[in-house]
Amino acid sequence: MAAFSKYLLISVPVVALAGIAALWWQRKERERSYTEVGRVSSLIIYPVKSCKGIRVDNAKCFKEGMEYDRRWILVDKNDTFISQRVDPKLALVVPHFEDGKYLCLDAPGMKTLKLDAELSEDKQELKRILVYRVYGEGQYVGDEAAEWFSNYLKRPGCKLYKLSWPKLICEDKKWGDVALPGDKASFGNFSPYMITSEQSLVALNGELPSPVTMERFRPNVVVGGLKAYDEDKWSKKIIKIGDVEFRFLKNCGRCSLTTINPATGEKEGDEPLATLQRIRLPEDRDPRQGRAPLFGVQFALDGDKMGVVKLGDRVMVST
């Protein structure tokens, strides 16, 4: 009886505190107000990291990113992940899903590779894979995929893995402080969500000798209706798309991958990176960005409420 009373004395305050915290959060949610700034004009997922994306009409949003987004990753014989920066030919690997059960990949000169989208748990070969300072975990997809990529890239020893455990963003030694403990990502470079603006691309193309497409920047969500670079004002904001809320993490600093033409799988000079470095290095940028010019904004799912975003959804910014 005494032990039971002791349990009550401990558990009741804990439950009460949890209830108070939940009520406080709900009140905070109700008090949050938004202003509409645009509409979703494109939604894209990239099933295999650094391969071509798939445009979708709607997407389920999870803590680690959109469903199927960057859930597969390719590594070399040394277990180092391979991106277009290493081999631009990945830009020509075209994914699609068949019957909701299979991931199919096509590439020039290759027969279609058809993989089970869900892997059997009794065939687990798990590996920790480092993606820019943070480890995720992947399950080996199989020898057929390994041979297919090795032959296509002419790189013996390639292996394909599917995400089995997401990265924890707060473990990033460079940028982890911008995240909350529960923030996760699949095999993307940093964040689970990338948002860009149509008008920012229009403004950039106005400075370039030849225009580029949004494919160079590999966003998940493209917003129409914003003024050029208005997304710079989203620092510390919550973005609401449909019923899904996203929390600002940081602006995206761009690298040499933007110089690879997604239509040819070849690097073409220094553009648009050179022009971005001329016009998109604001003086008030985070010094950790270095010389990486800014284009697009990186977000995490806010809270644990998951949902679906759709083409045409209103994009709202917290006030």
User: What's the rounded Cα separation, in Å, for the pair 55 and 310?
Assistant: 11
User: What's the rounded Cα separation, in Å, for the pair 96 and 60?
Assistant: 17
Task: Please provide the average confidence, as pLDDT, over all residues in the chain.
Answer: 92
User: What's the rounded Cα separation, in Å, for the pair 281 and 45?
Assistant: 28
User: How do the domains of the chain map onto residue ranges?
Assistant: 36-318
Closest CA to 179 of 249, 251, 238: 249
Burial 40-69 (b: 16+ CB within 10 A, else e): bbbbbbbbbbbbbbbebebbebbbbbbbbb
94-98 and 102-106: which strand pairing? Answer: antiparallel
pTM of the model: 0.89
Q: What is the pLDDT of residue 121?
A: 77
Task: State the 10-residue block means of pLDDT for the chain, 319 residues long.
Answer: 45 45 49 93 98 98 98 97 97 96 97 95 86 97 97 98 98 97 97 98 98 98 98 96 97 98 96 98 95 98 94 97
- Residue tagged 């050179």 (tokens): 274
Could you read off the pLDDT of 226-240 as tens digits, one per residue?
A: 999 999 999 999 999
Could you read off the pLDDT of 165-199 as tens digits, one per residue?
A: 999 999 999 999 999 999 999 999 999 999 999 99
User: What's the rounded Cα separation, in Å, for the pair 61 and 73?
Assistant: 20
Q: What is the pLDDT of residue 28?
A: 53
The yes/no answer on whether domain 36-318 falls in CATH 2.40.33.20 is yes
Burial of 118 (0-12, 13-18, 19+ CB in 10 A): exposed
